[in-house]
Amino acid sequence: MAMRGLMHVSKLLPATARVRVSSFWSGVETGPPDAIFGLVEAHKKDPRPNKVSLAIGAYRDDQGKPWVLPTVRKAEQRIVDKNLDKEYAGIMGYESFCKEAYKLAFGEDDNFKNNSYVTTQTVSGTGALRLAGMFLNKFYPEAKTIYLPNPSWPNHNPVFKQSGLEVKSYRHCNFQNMTFDAAGCYDDLRSIPNKSMVLFHACAHNPTGIDLSLDHWAEVSKICKEKNHLVFVDMAYQGFATGDLEKDSAGLRLLAKDGHKLVLCQSFSKNMGLYGERCGAMTFLTESESEAKAVESQIKIIIRPLYSNPPITGARIATEILTSPDLYSEWLDELKAMAGRIFEMRGKLQQGLINEGSTRDWSFIHTQIGMFCYSGMNQEQVKRLQDEYGIYMTKDGRISMVSLSSNNIGYVAKSMHEVTK
Ligand SMILES: Cc1ncc(COP(=O)(O)O)c(C=O)c1O
């Protein structure tokens, strides 16, 4: 009865009033799907049985299944056994987690132990980047522009734009031979204004898999010192590139040893497989304890109205692994296993292409490192892979190596050869 009454009243409303009631969002235009998650959706809907998704960077085992690290399972059990409460963490997250994240990144070298710094737990790597962007927009008036390597992780651009910064790039990839464009990079770092903000990928550069050698890092550090640039390091893959935590953070540590008061964003998504737990950290190296305190107070002021405080489970798991000697040493083996499987897939993909008769030089597949292979395939070839073969990857030809397995690698190599011959 009540429903009928309502319908009756709405029919009596003048047309304009009715339109106004139902048109709050009529001005909202449909936006484009996310470059990566949109492909995941499209792949899900594809009915072809041999379809392959090479878009997303989330580790799979050789059966193509998500892999929860055994150390993570054990840490979870230990946490359950402790019967902990679910109270809020502080605004900056768990202190013990922050200490461990810092130690993991910088090591236990005396140089770093005595640094003054501030670390906050964040909503994974993306949250760390966004928070850093917002802080820099507010407190680094010297520059409103952040320089990213070209190319860079596609989400960097919107993260920083939405933090209110302008985004420009410096040269990273030599697209002719898929190596690091050292000369181009150095030139650009020299020619941008002094005190610019410059972002570097610590290791496993996404999307290219092209990393800097220690000599490159030394030169970059020198130029950034001369130019007084603010160095910003995104470390989303520590331990995941080479399987060795020290090697993967060697560039970062070199920069810190050279005295850069850098900003660091860390993610535990990949190296602990804590993707959905949203576990990360952001660190500012500071000149003094008082500076660290001031920075910390302002970080809190940004976080509190944003998400109040970070999620607790991922940080508890990470802390349990990092502080339990048995879990820690097992985790080191897991890192080696993940990096090793990716390395093996690189070799197999290259060999598969050769076996198919490809005459292209695919040697870079094996020299690139980390989660992705920057294949050099153009948009048309990528589209053909999707339309004709049901193989999904980002438009820039980036292949998520962790999604390759013994089951699909032959098919992928054959299809890649078909579209590139
Ligand atoms: C370069 C880079 N930075 C940051 C992230 C952030 O990852 P998450 O938010 O999952 O920790 C990613 C994830 O793919 C990445 O590749």
C-beta of 273 in contact with ligand 1 (< 6 A) = no
220 in the same domain as 348: no
In which residue ranges of the chain is pLDDT below 70?
1-21, 110-111
249 in the same domain as 373: no
> How many Å lie between the centroid of ligand 1 and the Cα of residue 419?
30
Query: Among this protein's residues, is 51 annotated catalytic?
Result: no
Give the per-residue pLDDT at 19. Answer: 54
238 in the same domain as 102: yes
Does some domain include residue 155? Answer: yes
C-beta of 206 in contact with ligand 1 (< 6 A) = yes
Q: What is the pTM of this model?
A: 0.92
Give the per-residue pLDDT at 117. Answer: 95
Query: Among this protein's residues, is 153 annotated catalytic?
Result: yes
| Residue from 36, 126, 150, 159 to probe ligand 1 pocket by mutation (most atoms less than 8 Å from CB) | 126
Query: Which residue, judged by its Cα, is nearest atom 10 of ligand 1?
Result: 269
Does some domain include residue 23? Answer: no
Domain end, chosen from 294, 323, 352, is at 323
Q: Which domain holds residue 413?
A: 33-67+339-420
- Ligand 1 atom nearest to 156, measured from its CA: 3
Give the per-residue pLDDT at 34. Answer: 83
Contact 397, 380 (CB under 8 A): no
279 in the same domain as 143: yes
C-beta of 370 in contact with ligand 1 (< 6 A) = no
List the CATH number of the domain containing 386.
3.90.1150.10
The three-state DSSP-derived secondary structure of the chain is CHHHHHHHHHHHCCHHHHHHHCCCCCCCCCCCCCCCHHHHHHHHHCCCCCCEECCCCCCECCCCCECCCHHHHHHHHHHHHHCCCCCCCECCECHHHHHHHHHHHHCCCHHHHCCEEEEEEEEHHHHHHHHHHHHHHHHCCCCCEEEEEECCCCCHHHHHHHCCCEEEEEECEECCCCEECHHHHHHHHHHCCCCCEEEEECCCCCCCCCCCCHHHHHHHHHHHHHHCCEEEEEECCCCCCCCCHHHHCHHHHHHHHCCCCCEEEEECCCCCCCHHHCEEEEEEEECCHHHHHHHHHHHHHHHCCCCCCCCCHHHHHHHHHHHCHHHHHHHHHHHHHHHHHHHHHHHHHHHHHHHCCCCCCCCHHHHCCCCEEECCCCHHHHHHHHHHHCEECCCCCEEEHHHCCCCCHHHHHHHHHHHHC
Give the per-residue pLDDT at 56. Answer: 85
Which of 181, 188, 211, 234 is catalytic? The answer is 234
C-beta of 389 in contact with ligand 1 (< 6 A) = no
Give the per-residue pLDDT at 257. Answer: 93
Does some domain include residue 51? Answer: yes
Give the per-residue pLDDT at 2. Answer: 42
269 in the same domain as 125: yes
Does some domain include residue 59? Answer: yes
Does some domain include residue 74? Answer: no
48 in the same domain as 103: no
Q: What's the pLDDT tens digit per position in 119-165? A: 999 999 999 999 999 999 999 988 899 999 999 999 999 999 999 99
Number of domains within the chain? 2
List the CATH number of the domain containing 225.
3.40.640.10
149 in the same domain as 101: yes
365 in the same domain as 296: no
Query: Which residue, judged by its Cα, is nearest atom 8 of ligand 1?
Result: 125
Query: Among this protein's residues, is 113 annotated catalytic?
Result: no
219 in the same domain as 122: yes
